[in-house]
Amino acid sequence: MADIRFPNESNGYREARDKLLQSETELRAHIEAVAKERRELPKGGQLKEDYTFDEIVEGRSEKTKLSELFKDGDDALFIYSFMFSDDMDAACPMCTAILDGLDGQTPHINENMSTAVVAKVAAPILAKFGDERHWRNLRLLSSKNNSYNTDYYGELDGNQMTTANVFVRDGDAIRHFWNSELTYQPMMEGGHMRHLDLIWPMWNVLDMTPQGRGDFFPSLRY
């Protein structure tokens, strides 16, 4: 281990920091162990149907099937379910904050797999919102006219839910691989579900500070 010391730190600080470092090292190992367990999941169920989504492409409305979201050569597809529907007053600020960050990472992710964002709002409204947020890389699709949201838990009892799914190609079939099922587990003390923290830099940065997450939640505008 590197013998790290910062200017004017006390012995008490260094002792506590070294103890924390051990915990951080153990957490890193556990995160990798969980990722390995996730990668080794057996085959999931075959896709219920080849859902048809509505998508705005160069100003025109087009029909796109889920199978067409896989780029040539890709065997994995990540779909984020965006809490935004015609009966909501506005898009979910939490989802929006996640997608603000994911938009910048998408070109890198797309070198390894395919990605898409699905919401149960009309395609023109979804595209307009994306333009207003200056999203340039996210592929935005409307699930308003299919049952994808309810089938893969982007909606529960009529309520839109924040969740993500991964699908894989298995020969000629498409199978479900993973869902962020922590969405449906009891909340942790403090009200944070943490079900998508691994793709959300905002919370991870706040967790590095003395105040932590506190009672902050993102807004659509500041």
Q: Which two tokens stand for residue 179?
A: 């869902």
d(CA 50, CA 115): 16
Residue that the structure tokens 């902050």 belong to:
216
pLDDT in the model for residue 1: 55
Collapsed DSSP state (helix, strand, coil) of residue 119? strand
One-letter amino acid for residue 131 of the chain: D
pLDDT in the model for residue 207: 83
Query: What pLDDT digit, counting tens, does each position of 186-197 carry?
Result: 877 766 667 787
Other beta carbons less than 10 A from residue 170's beta carbon: 14
Collapsed DSSP state (helix, strand, coil) of residue 116? strand
d(CA 140, CA 130): 8
The pLDDT profile of the chain, 222 residues, written as one tens digit per residue, is 568 899 999 999 999 999 999 999 999 999 999 999 999 999 999 999 999 999 999 999 999 999 999 999 999 999 999 999 999 999 999 999 999 999 999 999 999 999 999 999 999 999 999 999 999 999 999 999 999 999 999 999 999 998 999 999 999 999 999 999 988 878 777 666 677 878 888 778 888 888 887 787 889 999
One-letter amino acid for residue 188 of the chain: M
Q: How many angstroms separate the most distant Cα atoms in the chain? A: 64
Smallest CA-to-CA distance from 97 within 133, 56, 132 is with 133
Residue that the structure tokens 């790290």 belong to:
4
pLDDT in the model for residue 3: 86
Q: Is the pTM of this model over 0.85?
A: yes
In 36-130, the DSSP E strands lie at 52-57, 60-65, 76-85, 114-120
Q: Are 80 and 99 in contact (CB under 8 A)?
A: yes
